[in-house]
Structure 1
Amino acid sequence: MKNNQNVQILTEGAMMVALAVVLSVVSDLIGLKMPQSGSVSLSTLPIVIFALRRGSLSGALVGLTYGIINLLIDGFYHWGSIFFDYVIPFTLVGFLSGLFSKKAQEGLIWYTILAALVSGLARYLCHSFSGVIFFSDYVPEGMTAFYYSFIVYNAPYMLINTALNLVILLLVQKRLITINSRVV
């Protein structure tokens, strides 16, 4: 029984990573990518959904896997971005969302909201600190690296991403609870 459940979790995780990659590539193809990486995309939504269904550890592994694949697709601009723009933020998205899985599965909507907001905030902070530490050469004259990275560059697309995740999660919350009640 445990072996079947492991196979089911692994398969579901692989499908969510694949869906996240497709959503990322589609957003890049329609021109929603920022100049030094980052984009308006629903790519983290499958990671959050998976983590809400399967918990922190499985969510972190799916986030890490997606982060590595996304890095291979995007390439990187600086060695530090490997960790601060790919490995750490997407691992945190899965891990932090998974912290709210038990309560979210019980139908407590505030925990789903917290999962979207906390994971979005963690990702935003990782990308913003990456900008300050590794990409300060790109800051326009007259702006500080903090202002540019936290407000001008990362805040707009990360606010949109987090809001989109939140709205969609709220729309599918009841369906997820139904699906979770049938999970092996």
Structure 2
Amino acid sequence: MSDRRLHIWVEGAIIAAMAMALEYFPHSIGPWINLSYGVIPVAIFSLRRGAKAGLATGLVWGLLDLFLRGFGDGGFLNPLQGVLEYPVAFSVVGLIGLGAAPLRRAITAQAHNRIIGIALGYTLLGVIVKYFCHFLAGVIYWGSYAPKGMNPWLYSLAVNGGSALANTILSGVLIVLLARASARLFSPRDTFKAFTGTN
């Protein structure tokens, strides 16, 4: 394994641990809205390193969350639900990394509006896909917990919709602020040199 690849995987492991640590901060707003602060470092890492590294980091974060919180907090109902709501739902946050190459091109061109648009658009993609996984799990596996007479689809939308909206807003605002403050944050030195051909 090359030094650069090793550096990326070590960085990813640190980001996954940071994302997991952020899950222990108070993050509930009312009975049905939960903020997932861990999305932010995973989003930044994915935009820096690409989708492959982002998906792997999300997977590690999801497994950590399953073992450290899911089993103990009653979030695990059965193996299929556990896989969908933890490894899969957390991994797909790494899809944000699909924007890594376009973002680097925008940074190289110093196209500030494009930088913000790309960072925001791909971050929203990752967050929305994550909560779509939770929504599906809510319909399929948690529907029996719906109040009597309530449609499982509506129940899952009510339970997961607020969290999806809150996390979309939180992630979007923070990524835009970071992109405005320091776009180079999303283009690490080693990849920036390789991409631009600078020394």
TM-score in terms of structure 2 length: 0.81
Report the equivalent of 1:14: 13
Q: Distance in 2 between matches of 1:100 and 1:41?
A: 21
Indicate how the Cα distance of structure 1 residues 103 and 179 shifts in structure 2: closer, same or farther if over 3 A, else same. Answer: closer
Q: Does 1:119 align with 2:119?
A: no
The alignment covers a number of residue pairs equal to 177
Unmatched tracts of structure 2, length 5 or more: 108-113, 192-199
Q: Distance in 1 between matches of 2:185 and 2:48?
A: 11
Q: 1:51 aligns with which of 43, 46, 50?
A: 46
Q: Distance in 2 between matches of 1:97 and 1:177?
A: 17
Give the SS at the match of 1:78. coil
Structure 1 residue 115, shift from structure 2 partner = 1.2
Deviations 1:62-121 (A, max 9, x none): 011100001001214312321221111111110x10111111232422211111211111
Give the greater-gyration-radius structure (CA): 2
Confirm or deny: 8 A CA contact 2:62 2:86 kept in the other structure.
yes
Report which stretch shifted further, 11-20 or 125-134.
11-20
Report which stretch shifted further, 108-117 or 47-56.
108-117
TM-score in terms of structure 1 length: 0.87
Q: Distance in 2 between matches of 1:20 and 1:181?
A: 19
Q: 1:154 aligns with which of 157, 160, 176?
A: 160
Report the equivalent of 2:177: 171
Q: Distance in 1 between matches of 2:60 and 2:30?
A: 22
Report the equivalent of 2:189: 182
Confirm or deny: 8 A CA contact 2:27 2:36 kept in the other structure.
no
Confirm or deny: 8 A CA contact 1:32 1:41 kept in the other structure.
no
Report the equivalent of 2:36: 41
Unmatched tracts of structure 1, length 5 or more: none
Structure 1 residue 159, shift from structure 2 partner = 1.0
Q: Distance in 2 between matches of 1:171 and 1:133?
A: 37
Structure 1 residue 41, shift from structure 2 partner = 2.3
Report the equivalent of 1:4: 3
Q: Distance in 1 between matches of 2:29 and 2:177?
A: 26
Confirm or deny: 8 A CA contact 2:89 2:130 kept in the other structure.
yes
Q: 1:66 aligns with which of 61, 81, 98?
A: 61
| Identical amino acids, percent of aligned pairs | 28
Indicate how the Cα distance of structure 1 residues 134 and 88 shifts in structure 2: closer, same or farther if over 3 A, else same. Answer: same
Q: Distance in 2 between matches of 1:97 and 1:182?
A: 20
Report the equivalent of 2:28: 32
Provide the aligned C-alpha RMSD in A.
2.1
